[in-house]
Amino acid sequence: MPLPDRRLLVDPEAGIAPEAAGEPDAPIQKPKRGRTRKLADLEIADKVQPLKPAAPPPKPVDKLAKLGLKSDIDLVLHLPMRYEDETSITPIGHLIPGDNTQTEGVVFDNEIAYRPRRQLLVKMHDDAGDELTLRFLNFYGSQVKQMAIGVRLRVRGDVRGGFFGMEMVHPQVRPVDEDTPLPQALTPVYPSTAGVSQAYLRKAIDSALSRVHLPELLPEKIARAHLQPLNVPGLLDAVKTLHHPHADSDENALIDGTHPAWTRIKFEELLAQQLSLKRAHEERRTRAAPMMPRLHDAPESLVARFLATLPFKLTGAQERVCAEISGELTLPHPMQRLLQGDVGSGKTIVAALAAAQAIDAGYQAALMAPTEILAEQHARKLRAWLEPLGVTVAWLAGSLKAKEKRAALEAAASGAAQLVIGTHAIIQDAVEFARLGFAIIDEQHRFGVAQRLALRAKAQNAGDGAQNFQPHQLMMSATPIPRTLAMTYYADLDVSTIDELPPGRTPILTKLVSDNRRDEVIARVREAALTGRQVYWVCPLIEESETLQLQTAVETYETLAAALPELRIGLVHGRLPPAEKGAVMDAFSRAEVQLLVATTVIEVGVDVPNASLMVIEHAERFGLAQLHQLRGRVGRGSAASVCVLMYAGPLSQTARARLQTMRETADGFEIARRDLEIRGPGEFLGARQSGAAMLRFASLENDGWLIEPARAAADQMLAQFPEAVTNHLARWLGAREQYLKA
Ligand code: ADP
Ligand code: MG
């Protein structure tokens, strides 16, 4: 494709276009001192004229650096986020209300009106004599002057049929001459930030385009095998097309991202992402970790004795993932494995068995959970399993008294504690481990990358001085991730999946009930409690205000206590002092409390098999994953369980979709799939997941089909063209790559 003329005319010495420096992205700019041309003129002018060297702007490079644009390649790969069609002018007489259109005319009236409020009204007409009003509710004096009577304006905006005829409110405006040419192609609109105007960016990018060569980096063989089938243009071609679409290119495809030029870019980007994740994965195999032999068959080993006392038989799925984990712990490289399994699938025992293997090998294990309630549940369970076998377990949480805390810290530092269980408290500076060899992170998505790194750093001295020593890591999650997502977000992790629930679970019946049937629900609660079952009542989520949420929880508790005087009722929420929280939870697990009123603090981990009825108030405010987690607190025993989702109408479309999903399925994988459909992957996983941070152009919603080819290409490139890998990563990720060093 031929270059538009203007780029050939750009003065290479001018470098990054200086004239536009310091201009925010507004349609019309106040002229700066020492400048004779206005930006609006410039936008047109620079398309047909070479840049004139001007006074040096205040550090233009810094502005671009804000956008992460440091080199010509960065600039050239800074691709438009959308396009505007300014290639044609619609006569005023042909404007259609509701359309976003460009038109042109000459100002014949310009006044500031004060009713109904202060506003600038500019009237223009075109050669046919048709009139258009431009209305500005916020405006500068300079704008009034710029749209003076007699000036020809090219404007673009949403057309409205106003009381006095056609109008545009706050259109983009640029003064033009009668013979100012129209752009020949769609106008790119770039992602930007405050203080960096489109004109400035465009110029900087065009200037970079004129200098840069952008050679193909993919080896012939890779291109032939993986690119050719996609039928996409060469890289430079693709980039040029995207910056300066040809007048006859498929506009819709450019705009919705399906144009072959986009496909080429997205492939490159996904390839970079896959390479980076895979390389991180490979790099891990060069680091040292303690070898922990499998002693399942040695009768004296902790693992063997633990297995012998296990209160139940492991499911097939548990056996399988145990074998995967156990095998990897024997290797001298750090394991980094995600254990995913639905709520209640029995991940804890799998983690405990792995911890036993670490302890058998003479190392310490640590388990970190996101909330104190959950950590405590783990502590209780693992203590019951392991202490009788002679294992010393230490407990570390923020709520510990100073003396207890000192004791726990000492036990961790001396190595007396073989297993340390706790919350974030585990990763605080004061905590040291004698020989940490294995770290378990429950509900890993609730922790940030930094926290996972901090836990890993605690293992430094575990290798008896060996360098780069890292513990094996097991991350657990009850939010199962569909395959393509796992491939893009977690390509640096190995994944073990428990896809089977322990036997004897009774399916949970989920009911949607409008909250005007509250009395009926309360009657059911009474009936369930009086027949010996236990009940959770989950208070409404109030995201905006924790105080309000707390207040609501207390009120809910009081209302229920008044309505159900014959029941023993407990209240648990996040602000309760830990000792009280613990006492209430204890009482509930001993069935002394029949009805537990709770905030979402019970969302994860709480395990009371006798609880078989759950009421969730304002269920429409919760996310799908959260509802699924909450519901997973019931259905853990043999009694038939019911989950009542109480909602207040009217429901939004997504709330309706969520509640319907909850009623229709209890399968965590299916729920995750639908959640993804409803929310999209960004929100679903949170941007903090490493893989997502690397994608600028490809979206997992629309471009999932490209992942498989990108993966295949990545595998082959890593195996056969290591140098090309390095170059490709430098080009596409640059600084971004550090996101995933976690
Ligand atoms: P999650 O995967 O949600 O963390 P847990 O590990 O808390 O699930 O297990 C849920 C419940 O199932 C616990 O009470 C646990 O003791 C029990 N459990 C786990 N594995 C089995 C099994 N194989 N057979 C019977 N019960 C099991
Ligand atoms: Mg769990």
For the 88-182 domain, the top CATH level (class) is mainly beta
Tokens matching residue 26: 């507004």
Give distance in angstroms: CA of 318 to centre of ligand 1. 10
CA dist 716 and 223 (Å) reads: 11
Alpha carbon separation from 151 to 143, 176, 500 (Å, rounded): 12, 8, 74
Nearest alpha carbon, ligand 1 atom 18 = 346
**Nearest bound ligand to CA 380?**
1
Report the CATH number of the 508-665 domain.
3.40.50.300
Q: Does residue 694 register a pLDDT over 90?
A: no
Tokens matching residue 230: 């996609």
Give distance in angstroms: CA of 602 to centre of ligand 2. 12
**Are 77 and 239 contacting, i.e. CB atoms less than 8 angstroms apart?**
yes
Residues facing 82 on adjacent strands:
189
Give distance in angstroms: CA of 104 to centre of ligand 1. 71
Could you list the beta-strand ranges (E) of 47-90. Answer: 82-84
Q: Which of 381, 444, 607 to mutate to test the pocket of ligand 1 (most atoms within 8 A of CB)?
A: 607
Nearest alpha carbon, ligand 1 atom 23 = 314
What is the number of the ligand 1 atom nearest to the C-alpha of 442? 4
User: Which of 34-48, 162-176, 291-305 shows the lowest mean pLDDT across its residues?
Assistant: 34-48
**Nearest bound ligand to CA 385?**
1
CA dist 119 and 138 (Å) reads: 7
Q: Would you say the C-alpha torsion 642, 647, 650, 655 has a positive or negative sign?
A: negative
User: 653 CB contacts (<8 Å, ≥6 apart)?
Assistant: none
Nearest alpha carbon, ligand 1 atom 13 = 346
Cβ atoms within 10 Å of 88's Cβ, excluding its own: 10
Q: Rounded mean pLDDT of 650-671?
A: 89
Using N-to-C axis directions, what is the helix angle for 198-211 and 235-243, rounded to 10°?
Answer: 150
Nearest alpha carbon, ligand 1 atom 4 = 347
User: 719 CB contacts (<8 Å, ≥6 apart)?
Assistant: none
Q: Where are the domains of the chain?
A: 18-76, 88-182, 302-498, 508-665
CA dist 273 and 267 (Å) reads: 10
Give distance in angstroms: CA of 607 to centre of ligand 1. 9
The two domains 88-182 and 302-498 share their CATH topology (first three levels equal): no
Q: Which of 306, 312, 476, 610 to mutate to test the pocket of ligand 1 (most atoms within 8 A of CB)?
A: 312
pLDDT band at residue 482 under the 50/70/90 scheme: low
Among 454, 478, 444, 741, smallest CA distance to 603 is for 478
Nearest alpha carbon, ligand 1 atom 15 = 346
Alpha carbon separation from 9 to 211, 244, 596 (Å, rounded): 12, 15, 75
Which residues approach ligand 1 with their CB closer than 6 A?
312-315, 318, 341, 343-349, 478, 502, 607, 636
**pLDDT for the residue numbered 620:** 93
**pLDDT for the residue numbered 724:** 93
Give distance in angstroms: CA of 54 to centre of ligand 1. 71
**Nearest bound ligand to CA 589?**
1
Q: Would you say the C-alpha torsion 278, 357, 290, 430 has a positive or negative sign?
A: positive
Give distance in angstroms: CA of 615 to centre of ligand 2. 21
Nearest alpha carbon, ligand 1 atom 24 = 502
Report the CATH number of the 302-498 domain.
3.40.50.300
Count the alpha carbons within 13 Å of 365 in the hemisphere toward its beta carbon: 28
Q: Which of 314, 340, 348 to mutate to test the pocket of ligand 1 (most atoms within 8 A of CB)?
A: 348
**pLDDT for the residue numbered 417:** 96
Nearest alpha carbon, ligand 1 atom 14 = 607
**pLDDT for the residue numbered 6:** 31
Backbone angles phi, psi at 585, to 5 degrees: -60, -40
**Are 529 and 594 contacting, i.e. CB atoms less than 8 angstroms apart?**
yes
**pLDDT for the residue numbered 666:** 86
pLDDT band at residue 454 under the 50/70/90 scheme: confident
Q: Rounded mean pLDDT of 668-686?
A: 70
Q: Which of 315, 339, 345, 440 to mutate to test the pocket of ligand 1 (most atoms within 8 A of CB)?
A: 345
CA dist 425 and 372 (Å) reads: 10
**pLDDT for the residue numbered 644:** 97
What is the number of the ligand 1 atom nearest to the C-alpha of 318? 23
Q: Is the peptide bond before 116 cis (omega within 30 degrees of 0)?
A: yes
Could you list the beta-strand ranges (E) of 170-260. Answer: 172-175, 187-189
**pLDDT per position as a tens digit, 30-66:** 333 333 333 333 333 333 333 344 444 445 567 788 7
Q: What is the pTM of this model?
A: 0.68
What is the number of the ligand 1 atom nearest to the C-alpha of 341? 2
Q: Rounded mean pLDDT of 547-562?
A: 89
What is the number of the ligand 1 atom nearest to the C-alpha of 349? 6
**Are 658 and 627 contacting, i.e. CB atoms less than 8 angstroms apart?**
yes
Give distance in angstroms: CA of 349 to centre of ligand 1. 7
CA dist 290 and 437 (Å) reads: 6
Considering the chain, what is the average pLDDT of its residues?
82
CA-atom Rg of the chain in angstroms? 32
**pLDDT for the residue numbered 48:** 33
Nearest alpha carbon, ligand 1 atom 1 = 344
**pLDDT per position as a tens digit, 511-529:** 999 999 999 999 999 999 9
- Judged by DSSP in three states, 120 sits in strand
Give distance in angstroms: CA of 506 to centre of ligand 1. 14
Tokens matching residue 414: 């001396």
- 298-304 own/partner pairs: CB under 8 Å, 24+ apart: 301/360, 302/356, 302/359, 302/360, 302/386, 302/389, 302/390, 302/391, 303/353, 303/356, 303/357, 303/360
Give distance in angstroms: CA of 182 to centre of ligand 2. 63
**Are 646 and 585 contacting, i.e. CB atoms less than 8 angstroms apart?**
no
Give distance in angstroms: CA of 605 to centre of ligand 2. 5
Nearest alpha carbon, ligand 1 atom 26 = 502
Give distance in angstroms: CA of 347 to centre of ligand 1. 7
Give distance in angstroms: CA of 343 to centre of ligand 2. 7
CA dist 305 and 310 (Å) reads: 9
> Can you say how many angstroms the Cα of residue 412 is from the centroid of all Cα atoms in its chain?
34
